Chains A and B, each alone.
Chain A
């Protein structure tokens, strides 16, 4: 039987508050608690709570025939604990069914894999601890890197940490004539299986669903079932990877997205030879068809599926470079608050806000940014980072004095 693999990314960054030059050296609280809380509450009402309820209903209805997988960033988990214990409760119920897989990722939703192996591993371990703590000892077996960023080298690091599989984008320039609908393996360490996002079908749901100018609008379950039936029989797995916030937040309830999801399993079971599996079930069942070569990192963002949403312009490279210059200092310090801020400052979103690709994908970037311009984002971030550096230096001095 062929299978559909649903993976939903659940993420909220810790957004910075407007932090002025005059605050440097004095104000050490960087986070916009009010904004972060209100975003969390809004998305909880519009997406997390109703969608979790719907998914629980479907899992129960098909008695495990329908299953899904989540990856929840550490910054999301922390905010959920602080602002939305009701959401945490509903996720626990889902995980308790045994038909929901949780993925391991980096604690800070960071781009550390591109810069520091050491920091990357720390972040992965921290995230694992957090998942275990929150979900009754649950230990993830599959890894998902921030923004589905992947390369041969990153895959090798993931394999080294003992993961069975990882997820990434089925980027055109990587696949060429190949299909994303198979299981592949890492080109350096074949032990690591690689699942590729079918971006056509995923984005039909995630991006185009409510777009009235799209030729295929409106998307119905009948249409979707027809499309997956058109996939050649030899292709065994369709990976539908998307932001969880697609449901109710990016695509409002009015678009009918909840209705679509509610009826999709039934349509799949009735009219196709597909079932549903989680990533670890897929790699257990489906043997890899070959190696996938990814010499330079890819991601799931924008048209280019590269790193340019977060890195590449001078603003981003300067901020990113200056941030990771601090790694050594941070590692010498034993302080919970510093560790926490260090983690949250690494979140990819901060660099995303500095993106200047305003004329092609800029729309989607500005939609997600709390800033008026990438320049504002940059100035604010650098002010905060300047204060953070002062704190690091002070802490180090204190520690030396004690020793």
Chain B
């Protein structure tokens, strides 16, 4: 089978989890001897050559093709708000849009040149790039007729997937890694929502990274349940990471690592920390990361008078991330809404027991973790205290958690995806 896949980023040039997930999935597909044509807006040349990569920036568009006109017409709604950056909190988002309104570049001219240089980032011309990417998708679908099915990852590439389907008549799978409701809570961005919705409805089948995401797709996007399959993420490498990095403080360390935004629920971590410290002052809490709620968290920590035991590291990169996992005694992910959430699995690889919110997709695949509601700070504090003090449970989590990881392989995910493809193709014919 040959799949025409549209992504937005690919390792090593990634800024979020999407690229890593695409990498894992393609790797799994290759393992099962499936062919993948993988399209990204911009190729850097240092990607691992595991698929037939297509650089959208190299594609010239042939405007004699009449169908393109109608595709373009359907895309004009994208211009509503010309600028959008995903994965931002509402406050940060507001700042960016306010700025964008005064700094809006006209899209039309550059769209209708024959070639277009994509940035492939989440920059201020994002919607323009998304529209243009759709035209490119149509062109690729016309040039290459050797594929059986189309697969588009997240809303950024949905318009490209739709266009490719219109041109080729091949079935489309829309893969949802995150929805606008996860990113922005209730203040969703309308154009993005519309694109997501259009993609899911135009698709012959939808893949969701968790049951949680599947439920959102049913409830908020009106897609019938039978059209959606859950396809959990996996880990690229399930081996245990033995770090030589040593902790330098005598206290135990409880860690939050992620963007400090609404979606990640940092405030619940702070409140739980206060409760734990009341019972046991010999613990240090660390909030690693950056985001629009950072200053509010610092204020709250000072107000609670726990700043001598609650530390902020700012954004961590490279080795520091590994060091942080390595010295943590408990890892907490209190996400308010997390389609999947790969970071607790990283913690497990470092032999660190984890507490995850029930509102995360990863909770569906990880049994050896404590699961709490994100808002339930008492349970979160209890669980933290227990993992710090009761050897038995943390030891068990360490042993069993690593066993569980070994089951989360991308080749299993890919195998499941292939059966989904086969079913769709069988229904079509």
Which residues of chain A have a CB within 8 Å of any CB of chain B?
20-22, 24-26, 313-315, 317-319, 321-322, 373, 375, 378-379, 382-383, 385-386, 389-390
Contacts and interface: CB of A to CB of B under 8 A. Distances in A.
A25 B286 CA distance: 15
Given A375-B294, A389-B308, A314 B302 contact: yes
Interface string B210-251: 000000000000000000000000000000000000011110
Given A22-B323, A24-B248, A315-B302, A386 B308 contact: yes
B248 to A, nearest CB: 3
A136 to B, nearest CB: 43
Nearest to A356: B299
A373 B320 CA distance: 23
B100 interface: no
A322 B311 CA distance: 14
Contacts of B53: none
Contact of A322 (B248, B307, B314): B307
Nearest to A354: B302
Contacts of A21: 286, 311-313
B308 A322 contact: yes
A327 to B, nearest CB: 15
Contacts of B294: 375
Contact of A315 (B284, B298, B313): B298
A318 B249 contact: no
A-B pairs with the 5 shortest C-beta distances? A25-B248, A314-B302, A318-B302, A25-B249, A314-B303
Contacts of B323: 22
Given A26-B248, A318-B305, A386-B308, A20 B299 contact: no
A84 to B, nearest CB: 34
B308 A385 contact: yes
B295 interface: yes
Contacts of A314: 299, 302-303
Interface string B255-293: 000000000000000000000000000001010000000
B249 A382 contact: no
Given A25-B249, A26-B248, A390-B249, A379 B312 contact: yes
A382 B248 CA distance: 16
Residue with the highest number of chain B CB atoms closer than 10 Å, among A21, A378, A383? A21
Given A315-B299, A373-B295, A24 B249 contact: yes
B271 to A, nearest CB: 15
A103 B104 CA distance: 61
Contacts of B312: 21, 379
A139 B295 CA distance: 47
A317 B247 CA distance: 29
A105 B141 CA distance: 80
Contacts of A22: 248, 313, 320, 323
A20 B316 CA distance: 11
A315 B303 CA distance: 7
A390 B302 contact: no
11 contacts: A22-B320, A25-B250, A315-B307, A318-B303, A322-B307, A322-B308, A375-B295, A378-B298, A378-B302, A379-B314, A386-B249
Given A20-B313, A314-B303, A379 B308 contact: no
Contacts of B307: 315, 318-319, 322, 378, 382
A337 B313 CA distance: 27
Contacts of A319: 302, 307
Contacts, number: 62
A318 B294 CA distance: 17
Contacts of B308: 322, 382, 385-386, 389
A375 B298 contact: yes
A325 B248 CA distance: 23
Given A318-B305, A378-B307, 4 more contacts: A21-B286, A24-B248, A375-B294, A382-B311
Contacts of B295: 373, 375
A379 B311 CA distance: 7
A313 B320 CA distance: 32
Nearest to B305: A318
A379 B298 contact: yes
A382 B302 CA distance: 10
A137 B93 CA distance: 64
A318 B301 CA distance: 9
Contacts of B314: 379
A265 to B, nearest CB: 49
A378 B308 CA distance: 11
Contacts of B313: 20-22
Contacts of A322: 305, 307-308
A322 B281 CA distance: 14
A391 to B, nearest CB: 12
A20 B311 CA distance: 9
Contacts of B301: 318
A323 B249 CA distance: 19
B305 A321 contact: yes
Nearest to B327: A22
B250 A390 contact: yes
B249 to A, nearest CB: 4
Contacts of A317: 302
A386 B302 contact: no
A385 B249 CA distance: 13
A319 B307 CA distance: 8
A389 B309 CA distance: 11
B309 to A, nearest CB: 8
Contacts of A315: 298-299, 302, 307
Residue among B294, B308, B311, B313 with max Cβ neighbours from chain A (10 Å): B308
A319 B302 CA distance: 8
A368 to B, nearest CB: 20
A383 B302 contact: no
A386 B311 CA distance: 9
Nearest to A385: B308
Contacts of A383: 311
Contacts of B309: 386
A43 to B, nearest CB: 30
A390 B247 CA distance: 13
Contacts of B311: 21, 24, 379, 382-383, 386
Interface in B307-348: 307-309, 311-314, 320, 323
A174 to B, nearest CB: 30
A317 B301 CA distance: 12
Interface centre among A20, A385, A389 (most CB of B within 10 A): A20
Nearest to B300: A314
A328 B392 CA distance: 38
A382 B286 CA distance: 13
Nearest to A394: B250
A42 to B, nearest CB: 28
Nearest to A315: B302
Nearest to B298: A375
A378 B298 CA distance: 9
Nearest to A322: B308
Contacts of B299: 314-315, 375
A119 B198 CA distance: 69
Contacts of A321: 305
